[in-house]
């Protein structure tokens, strides 16, 4: 028997043509939306539509992260929306503080005596926290004046939370459904904590007015929405590239092996817990970045956003799109979240059956549930699996 | 020949059942050793204890020149210390290719960041090809391991074990489900491995053990009943009563 030629190491992109396909589609989509947008000129797509599409891209990014942690590494985290929300809060604090600061300074500028720094800070605190009956800036807002520091918080706070939570959970070898329940508890606890008025993040009011970017007041929303759309597309492209690289090589091989039989991986000498911790923390950070781009487009964030159900939806998107293939997660998140806003936003006409009217805002969830069951039963590989049938003919 | 592994006075109880009872076994390096015994004698549990899967209630498990205790170490630390294991039921990663399975087992740094920035080398690829040839899977490298036959999965797992380059190989029923020709090949591989390392084989097939031609340890009810050459232990009346005579 002759030895086969050892194939030279191919380039990452040459080995994974689907990544190039995805990036190409994303670039085309971005270009198309830009050309059709109100901000650019053709005005076929309204500004609110551009915002919805930009937000959808952010949801696609967290779905890709979810696919890596669940579809590839087998950790069914039902708490990744907590990281998404924390990213949103971190950037929202600066947006709200800086904007209020601008308003306060301009309204005090007419006063006969120039206001002191203390007076300005008091006025800002009253403006922001009057709604929860306080006029003091909580310690949490210590960095809120600085965009750089708050952007660091976008990465550090969720990253640290994921690191500590993951370390505790994985070290105790909590796996499977027990881990899922723990992650649900984490996001529920965080949400309940933020609901309290004295947490320092305005309780159930959340942070609002986030669509107004301080220092860019002269720009119309139609332009700003495009900027955020581009940023979201860029983040999705880079995130996709990062994760595709991560799961393609030997590292991907090890985490898929952990998903399929983690005990066996230990006997090969791999420290399973540290791999899980790396994946859990990294995907949490990417989720937080997605959230930091999402909420300025949404304009408002409140603790209901990180209720346990949000993270369950995330898992539903990935399951419908197809686990274990990154483009599947993107398809699932895009299709389901766009369909959701279409049905619940009054896009679908209610069906009058004479004795009963199907009101889609209520019945959409039933439809989603049926769709989830149908996908699980008939297409266990999800929508992305249909692509495989076309592309990879046996 | 120096002692590589020393198990002494080990006992373990599962729900009141004493699976291992004051067991003491020493394995030298290099050495080939067969472990036989009736079902429930504690053969697999012995391997579970050495590899860290099961914690004993009492006793010591000492490893290497530095006399390190294996009892405080995790499964992965024990594996990195140089103990490789093949399971009774072949456990390979069925969703991945034969090449990926071997590459994962190949002796390299095991940390997440070492693996993340790992670059495939021609030396690694050559080693994989060499192993694949030895286990007769050279033409199956791009195939998914799940498509292999039972015997081929056994081979692949033996290949993964060799790829780890361990000092001690614990091999649980390597010949199960193999044809006579394949068994012969397995014997050759194990004998060759035992020239430089310690190899412990659990097997039921006496013909297979006779071909190995090595020292045999007979386990019964969780402790050593007899030890010596195959002829020596098969003439032992106790061994005949509990194991061979049935």
Does B100 contact A at CB distance below 8 Å? yes
Place A54 in a pLDDT band, splitting at 50, 70 and 90.
very high
Give the pLDDT of residue A287.
98
**Where are the extended beta strands (E) located within chain A?**
207-208, 300-301, 351-352, 357-358
> How many whole angstroms separate alpha carbon A336 and alpha carbon A318?
10
pTM: 0.92
Cα of B112 to nearest chain A Cα, Å: 6
User: How many Cβ pairs within 8 Å bridge chains A and B?
Assistant: 87
Does B99 contact A at CB distance below 8 Å? no
pLDDT for A169-203, tens place per residue? 999 999 999 999 999 999 999 999 999 988 899 99
> How many whole angstroms separate alpha carbon B53 and alpha carbon B40?
17
Does B18 contact A at CB distance below 8 Å? no
Q: Select from A72, A167, A267 the residue whose CB has the most chain B CBs within 10 Å, as the one to mutate to test that interface.
A: A267
DSSP code string of A50-95: HHHHHHHHHHHHHHHHHIIIIIIT----S-HHHHHHHHHHHHHHHH
Place B224 in a pLDDT band, splitting at 50, 70 and 90.
very high
Among B111, B115, B122, select the one facing A250 at the smallest CB separation.
B115
State whether residue A25 is helix, strand or coil: helix
Q: Which residue has the higher pLDDT, A61 or A110?
A: A61
Mean pLDDT of A362-388: 86
**Where are the extended beta strands (E) located within chain B?**
2-14, 17-29, 31-36, 58-63, 68-69, 83-86, 168-172, 198-202, 215-220, 223-228
Contact assessment for residue B132 and residue B159, using Cβ atoms and an 8 Å cutoff: yes
Report domain extents, chain B.
Answer: 2-87+168-244
Q: Which residue of A has its CA nearest to B123?
A: A6
Give the pLDDT of residue B100.
95
pLDDT for B24-42, tens place per residue? 999 999 999 999 988 888 9
pLDDT for B88-144, tens place per residue? 888 999 999 999 999 999 998 999 999 988 877 888 899 999 999 989 899 999 999
Report domain extents, chain A.
Answer: 3-392
Contact assessment for residue A131 and residue A205, using Cβ atoms and an 8 Å cutoff: yes
As given in the structure block, the two tokens for residue A113 are 């005596």
Does B210 have pLDDT greater than 70?
yes
- The answer to whether the Cβ–Cβ distance between B76 and A263 falls below 8 Å is no
Interface of B with A in 175-214 (CB under 8 A): none
Residue A39: other Cβ atoms inside 10 A: 20
Does B125 contact A at CB distance below 8 Å? yes
- The answer to whether the Cβ–Cβ distance between B138 and A272 falls below 8 Å is no
Q: Which residue of A has its CA nearest to B129?
A: A3
Mean pLDDT of A262-272: 95
Mean pLDDT of B68-75: 93
Place A391 in a pLDDT band, splitting at 50, 70 and 90.
low
Closest by CA to B91, choosing from A165, A261, A331, A149, is A261
DSSP state of A197: G
Q: Which residue of B has its CA nearest to A257?
A: B93
Does B88 contact A at CB distance below 8 Å? no
Does B87 have pLDDT greater than 70?
yes
Q: Kindly report which listed range (A16-30, A52-66, A357-371, B27-41) carries the lowest average pLDDT score.
A: A357-371
Among A256, A257, A270, select the one facing B110 at the smallest CB separation.
A270
Closest by CA to A295, choosing from A22, A146, A83, is A83
Fold classification of B2-87+168-244 is Rossmann fold (3.40.50)
β-pairing, B215-220 with B83-86?
Answer: unpaired
Q: Kindly report which listed range (A292-301, A341-350, B178-187) carries the lowest average pLDDT score.
A: A341-350
Among A264, A271, A272, select the one facing B91 at the smallest CB separation.
A264
Report the interhelical angle of A221-248 vs A47-66 (nearest 10°): 20
DSSP state of B97: B
Q: Which ipTM did the prediction report?
A: 0.91
pLDDT for A144-164, tens place per residue? 999 999 999 999 999 999 999
Among B104, B125, B160, select the one facing A253 at the smallest CB separation.
B104
Contact assessment for residue B81 and residue B68, using Cβ atoms and an 8 Å cutoff: yes
Cα of A323 to nearest chain B Cα, Å: 14
A251: number of CA atoms within 13 Å, CB side?
22
pLDDT for B157-197, tens place per residue? 999 999 999 999 999 998 888 888 888 889 999 999 999 99
Does A9 have pLDDT greater than 50?
no
Q: Which chain B residues have a beta carbon less than 8 Å from that of A3?
A: 129, 133, 138
Give the pLDDT of residue B1.
67
Q: Which phi and psi (to 5°) does residue B121 adopt? A: -115, 160
Give the pLDDT of residue B181.
87
- Secondary structure tally for chain A: helices H, strands E: 14, 4
């Amino acid at each position: 028997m002759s030895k086969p030629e050892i194939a030279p190491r191919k380039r990452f992109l040459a080995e994974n043509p689907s990544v190039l396909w995805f990036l190409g589609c994303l670039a085309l989509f971005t270009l198309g939306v830009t050309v059709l947008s109100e901000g650019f000129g053709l005005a076929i797509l309204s500004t609110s539509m551009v915002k919805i599409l930009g937000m959808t891209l952010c949801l696609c990014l967290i779905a890709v992260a979810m696919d890596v942690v669940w579809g590839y590494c087998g950790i069914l985290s039902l708490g990744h929306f907590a990281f998404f929300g924390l990213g949103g809060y971190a950037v929202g604090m600066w947006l709200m503080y800086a904007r209020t600061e601008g308003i306060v300074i301009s309204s005090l500028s007419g006063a006969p005596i120039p206001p002191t720094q203390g007076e300005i800070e008091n006025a800002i605190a009253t403006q922001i926290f009057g709604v929860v009956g306080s006029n003091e800036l909580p310690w949490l807002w210590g960095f809120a004046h600085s965009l750089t520091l708050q952007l660091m918080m976008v990465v550090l706070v969720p990253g640290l939370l994921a690191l500590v939570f993951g370390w505790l959970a994985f070290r105790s070898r909590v796996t499977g459904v027990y881990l899922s329940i723990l992650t649900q508890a984490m996001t529920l606890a965080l949400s309940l904590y933020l609901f309290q008025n004295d947490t320092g993040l305005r309780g159930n009011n959340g942070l609002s007015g986030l669509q107004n970017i301080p220092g860019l007041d002269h720009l119309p929303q139609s332009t700003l929405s495009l900027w955020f759309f581009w940023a979201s597309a860029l983040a999705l492209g880079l995130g996709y590239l990062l994760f595709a690289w991560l799961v393609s090589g030997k590292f991907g091989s090890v985490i898929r092996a952990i998903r399929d039989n983690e005990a066996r991986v230990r006997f090969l000498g791999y420290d399973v817990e540290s791999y899980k911790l790396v994946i859990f923390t990294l995907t949490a950070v990417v989720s937080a970045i997605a959230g930091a781009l999402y909420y300025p487009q949404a304009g408002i964030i409140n603790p209901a956003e990180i209720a346990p159900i949000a993270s369950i939806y995330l898992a539903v998107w990935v399951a419908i799109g197809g686990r274990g293939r990154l483009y599947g997660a993107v398809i699932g998140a895009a299709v389901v979240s766009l369909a959701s806003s279409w049905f619940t936003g009054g896009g679908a006409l209610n069906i009058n059956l004479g004795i009963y009217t199907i009101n889609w805002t209520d019945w959409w969830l039933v439809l989603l549930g049926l769709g989830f069951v149908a996908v699980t039963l008939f297409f266990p590989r999800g929508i992305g699996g249909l692509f495989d049938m076309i592309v990879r003919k046996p | 020949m120096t002692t590589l592994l020393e198990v002494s006075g080990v006992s373990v109880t599962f729900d009141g059942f004493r699976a291992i009872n004051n067991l003491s076994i020493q394995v030298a390096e290099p050495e080939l050793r067969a472990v036989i015994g009736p079902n429930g004698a504690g053969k697999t549990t012995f391997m579970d204890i050495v590899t860290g899967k099961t914690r004993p209630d009492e006793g010591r498990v000492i490893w290497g020149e530095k006399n390190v205790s294996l009892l405080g170490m995790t499964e992965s630390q024990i594996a990195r210390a140089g103990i490789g294991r093949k399971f009774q039921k072949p456990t390979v990663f069925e969703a991945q290719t034969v090449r990926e399975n071997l590459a994962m087992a190949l002796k390299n740094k095991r940390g997440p960041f070492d693996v993340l920035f790992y670059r495939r080398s021609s030396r690694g690829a050559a080693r994989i090809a060499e192993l694949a040839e030895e286990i007769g899977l050279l033409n199956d490298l791009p195939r998914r391991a799940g498509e292999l036959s039972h015997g081929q999965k056994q081979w692949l797992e033996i290949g993964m074990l060799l790829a780890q380059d361990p000092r001690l190989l614990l091999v649980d029923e390597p010949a199960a489900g193999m044809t006579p020709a394949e068994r012969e090949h397995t014997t050759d591989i194990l004998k060759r491995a035992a020239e430089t390392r310690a190899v412990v084989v659990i097997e039921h097939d006496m013909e297979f053990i006779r071909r190995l031609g090595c020292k045999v340890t007979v386990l019964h009810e969780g402790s050593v009943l007899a030890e010596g050459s195959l002829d020596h232990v098969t003439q032992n009346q106790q061994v005949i009563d509990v194991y061979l005579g049935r």
